[in-house]
Amino acid sequence: MKKSASGFPERGIEKGELFREISNNRKRDFGWRAGKMFGYVYYPGDETAETVDSVYRLYMHDNTLNPTAFSSLRKMENELVAMTGSLLHGGKNITGSVTTGGTESIFMAMKVARDWKRAGGQDIVPEVIVPLSVHPAFDKAAHFLGVKLVHVPLRNDYRADVDRMSSAINERTAMLVGSAPCFPYGVVDPVTEIAELAINNNLLCHVDACMGGFMLPFLEKPGHPVSPFDFRVKGVTSISADAHKFGYSSKGVSLILYRDPELRRLQFFITTEWPGGIYASSTIMGSKSGGPVAAAWATVKLRGLKGYVSVASEVMETTKKIQEGIRGIGGLEIAGKPEMSVFAVRSGKYNIYSIGDELAKRGWLTDRLQNPACIHMTVSMLQAGKENEFLNDLREVIAVVSRRKQGKLSDSLISSAVSGLSRILPERSFRGAMDFASRFIGSNGSGQSDSAAMYGITASVKNGKNVRQMVLSIYDKMYRLE
């Protein structure tokens, strides 16, 4: 890569030079179009993309912050809320907002829960009870909002333990959360029971359908078994659903929906005292491009229910073939009963992280989970038709890994926390970061394989606090010019 610019450019460059620089920079990016990246990118296919991209371009300079100046964007937002509300079987009263992603949707649900609990003027730290598998966006929101998040261990089937959730309820509890499905295992929490518990204790109940909101309904339609999770379940008060995952729209669009319109009023922010005028905004963001909103709207309109159902069926077929292949290998098992195309693979026989490393060498990007150690796969349209290529590579990987003398697969905090690192960092930056970390921690990672480097680091990191310090240093390093 060309040396990075460090100062403000003295003068502008030519368009040709600009694109040469970009294509040079992009050489190190992951080539997701080959379909070997599980998750991160949900591509609608070239034909849809061509139309949607031009809709995006139409709106990319427009600003959703001003809903009166850009009324066509506001109409799109309201229609996206209504269309998704209807997909999730909400009645006419469903309200909501378009946000920039699952994290922002979850922030909104958490803010509403906090302010709802404090509505009586009580000066308390509201608590939200979540299963251990809930997405870290809840931890992040709790951290930012001054809410206490109470994590409850999972049942043996990796689903939320409702009895334990019940025991965690106290007078400060504001909301219970279930996922449909949770990211790590793709299992849907027992939403009906969680919502019933919420009703009995006069609590809010949020369902995080960021992953499943634009997938489970399309599986249910042609008759796949899907656990109840949406507004048909009595007691569910809000749902988050990401259009930019299985809605196949470009990044930057999610929905937060409320059953009771009164709840959404707690979400909006308004200040009347600013010299700049009365300022109101519906979500966290201020100025925001209309591009992603228009693109999401266009994608839903172009696809329609029928289009989404056929894509979902194809993705599910691919998933089933991959899962059958994995089960057929022996020594590998799928964790729990995943209900859609998101699942984890563990092994009592092989070092599952080594399998992940070897797959990466063959160009397949999987995530890593900890406690228990698993590799994680999200199958979307990009993987349709790739199942045999993947399974052939996996069998080869198993042959390689089983010939190798295995270090004992450790579930210890240290090694799992470090392997957790590889989950939050893209594979490539993880390797770079490991190289870097090995230098500053003082173990010799250079010249070793990625996993060897990783376990080298593992040995020198003594506890979770050190791991956190290490991640901080890695992030500090990554967000500087190289």
Ligand X SMILES: *Cc1c(COP(=O)(O)O)cnc(C)c1O
Contact footprint for ligand X (CB under 6 A) = 101-103, 135, 137, 179, 182-183, 208, 210-211, 242, 254
Q: How far apart are CA 49 and CA 43, in angstroms?
A: 8
Q: How far apart are CA 427 and CA 420, in angstroms?
A: 12
Min dist. Cβ of residue 193 to ligand X (A): 19
Report the alpha-carbon angle 161-217-78, nearest 5.
105
Min dist. Cβ of residue 331 to ligand X (A): 28
Q: Give me the amino acid identity at 47.
A: E
Rounded to 5 degrees, φ, ψ at 317 are: -65, -45
Min dist. Cβ of residue 362 to ligand X (A): 26
Q: How far apart are CA 471 and CA 422, in angstroms?
A: 11
Toward ligand X, which CB reaches closer, 183 or 430?
Answer: 183
Q: Which pairing describes strands 173-179 and 148-152: parallel, antiparallel, or unpaired?
A: unpaired
88 touches 255 (CB < 8 A)? no
Closest CA to 149 of 120, 115, 174: 174
Toward ligand X, which CB reaches closer, 64 or 415?
Answer: 64
Min dist. Cβ of residue 228 to ligand X (A): 17
Q: How far apart are CA 158 and CA 131, in angstroms?
A: 9
Min dist. Cβ of residue 39 to ligand X (A): 9
Toward ligand X, which CB reaches closer, 117 or 376?
Answer: 376
Q: How far apart are CA 443 and CA 422, in angstroms?
A: 18
Min dist. Cβ of residue 209 to ligand X (A): 8
Coil, helix or strand for 409?
coil
Name residue, tokens 């080298």: 456
Closest CA to 242 of 212, 197, 287, 273: 212
373: left (phi over 0), alpha (psi -120 to 50) or beta: beta
Q: How far apart are CA 465 and CA 413, in angstroms?
A: 11
Name residue, tokens 């329609």: 304
Min dist. Cβ of residue 110 to ligand X (A): 12
Closest CA to 203 of 152, 268, 127: 127
Q: Tell me which H or E stretch contains 18.
A: helix 15-26
Toward ligand X, which CB reaches closer, 209 or 453?
Answer: 209
Toward ligand X, which CB reaches closer, 143 or 395?
Answer: 143
Q: What is the DSSP letter of 34?
A: G
Q: Cβ–Cβ contacts within 10 Å for residue 159, how many?
A: 24
Min dist. Cβ of residue 420 to ligand X (A): 16
Min dist. Cβ of residue 134 to ligand X (A): 8
Toward ligand X, which CB reaches closer, 36 or 135?
Answer: 135
Dihedral over alpha carbons 193, 195, 199, 205 (to 10 degrees) = 150
Closest CA to 173 of 191, 198, 195, 152: 198
Min dist. Cβ of residue 38 to ligand X (A): 13
Toward ligand X, which CB reaches closer, 208 or 357?
Answer: 208
Tokens at 155, concatenated: 């049942």
The residues facing 255 across adjacent strands are 98, 241
Toward ligand X, which CB reaches closer, 103 or 419?
Answer: 103
Toward ligand X, which CB reaches closer, 145 or 452?
Answer: 145
Q: Give me the amino acid identity at 214.
A: F
Q: Cβ–Cβ contacts within 10 Å for residue 404, how many?
A: 12
Min dist. Cβ of residue 181 to ligand X (A): 7
End-to-end Cα, the chain, rounded Å: 10
Min dist. Cβ of residue 30 to ligand X (A): 17
Toward ligand X, which CB reaches closer, 161 or 450?
Answer: 161
**What residue number has its CB nearest to ligand X?**
102
340 touches 181 (CB < 8 A)? yes
Toward ligand X, which CB reaches closer, 210 or 296?
Answer: 210
Toward ligand X, which CB reaches closer, 90 or 184?
Answer: 184
